[in-house]
Amino acid sequence: MANSAAVLSMYDEPMWESIRAHDWHLQQCDDCSEWRYPPGPCCPKCLSPRSTWRPLSGRGEIASWVVFHRQYFDNWPPPYNVVAVKLAEGPLVISNLTGPEPEGSWIGRPVEVAYGTDAAGTLLPQMRLAE
């Protein structure tokens, strides 16, 4: 086994830099204002190559969740959860819910970004329940 690793294309590097600064940024299209995830060379909506890295509000709601019971990475001993979160800006992202967990269904629960780490200490944008 080994630790998990991020995919680091030339477009991903600025995102991870912003995460290390506890201020998660994504690209926003200069021409149609669409937010882009994952980072990439042009806007899938209008094909414009022009974009600006902007900070996210950090707010969203849970679209789905799972709990891993099998180990695939050294830095992720089970059990642990993974959530899909629809960000207020539009993109759907994958993260982990930290802190208290909801009773019953998690779907539709509002969350906000809470920076945390995996078992190896790598910083990640994770989520916690919001008011």
Length of the chain in residues, anyone? 131
DSSP string for 59-83: EEEEEEEEEE-S--STT-PSSEEEE
**C-alpha to C-alpha distance for 86 and 59, rounded to whole angstroms:** 9
- Per rule CB under 5 A, is residue 29 in the interface with Zn ion? yes
- Per rule CB under 8 A, is residue 4 in the interface with other proteins? yes
**C-alpha to C-alpha distance for 88 and 94, rounded to whole angstroms:** 14
Exposed/middle/buried for residue 86 (C-beta within 10 Å: 0-12, 13-18, 19+): middle
> x/- site string to other proteins, residues 33 to 72, per CB under 8 A?
----xx-----x------------------xxxxxxxx-x
From other proteins, Zn ion, none, interface partner of 43 (C-beta below 5 to 8 A by class): Zn ion
Cα distance from N-terminal residue to C-terminal residue, the chain: 39
Output the smallest distance, CB 80 to other proteins, in A: 6
- Per rule CB under 8 A, is residue 93 in the interface with other proteins? yes
**Residues 36/42, Cβ–Cβ less than 8 Å:** no
Subset of residues 98 to 127 that bind other proteins, contact rule: CB under 8 A: 105, 107, 118, 122, 124, 126
- Per rule CB under 5 A, is residue 48 in the interface with Zn ion? yes
Compare residues 31 and 101 and give the one whose CB is closer to Zn ion: 31
- Chain positions contacting other proteins, by CB under 8 A: 1-7, 37-38, 44, 63-70, 72-73, 75-76, 80, 82, 84, 91-96, 105, 107, 118, 122, 124, 126
